[in-house]
Structure 1
């Protein structure tokens, strides 16, 4: 049940990315989404994998935030529309995921109890097994949405480091 709640929060924060226009709020939303996805991976796969994944994402987030903050103009925070969207999205997502449980959550508990599959944990091949594919797709979706939002924020004509017109 805890994994389901974290998955709902993570999906709601993923859908909130395109609504962010300021790098500071976007960085906070990405950090929250990363924390939720890494803790979900830590619960489902292994705590070491979740910890290393979090460190990699935070390192990449720091580099990305430094570039975006240097290139974007100073804009004010908007109204509470992303927060309203986030709260309006939580109820339908939680109902959908509660009524239609994912395949991973039931199978990962069975696989962890069954000793015949313990070799998967020892060699690290559980990370790419078909049972943990939704976690990997979620992490890939975070990276894709990060790319789209950074391109949207650093639009060429509106960035603070645009080329000068020489006369």
Structure 2
């Protein structure tokens, strides 16, 4: 799986150099963020780091999308099916190689998967244990207060950030 994710990440990086439209840039960057989040989740014991990285990347993508729509709002988007077919064919190659691996279905890999899930469960218990549960509760309360403050600060009568003329 790691080989397939690395190959898809490499293909998305190559496609990023080919693209010329901001919408295609943002789409490829979003796919790249998902692939990187999956890759870091598969390489670490917990998936919290990958969730945080993904949320930061998606937040940055929203800001870039807002900037892009204000700068190049009426630009025509041309979609190239040749690049899509080339990328799909190159992405299928590592998946086909991995499915023919006989060690994928052995009992040792099943036992390793079970042990890694058990270890991840123990890691999650540390998050809500006695010393750190106060920090977690404080973080939840802080995020709730920030959400309420943002809702109270914004004025719904003024409408969206970008005015339509």
TM-score, scaled to structure 1 = 0.49
Larger of the two Rg values belongs to structure: 2
Question: Relative contact order (C-alpha < 8 Å, sep 6+): which is higher?
Answer: 1
TM-score, scaled to structure 2 = 0.50
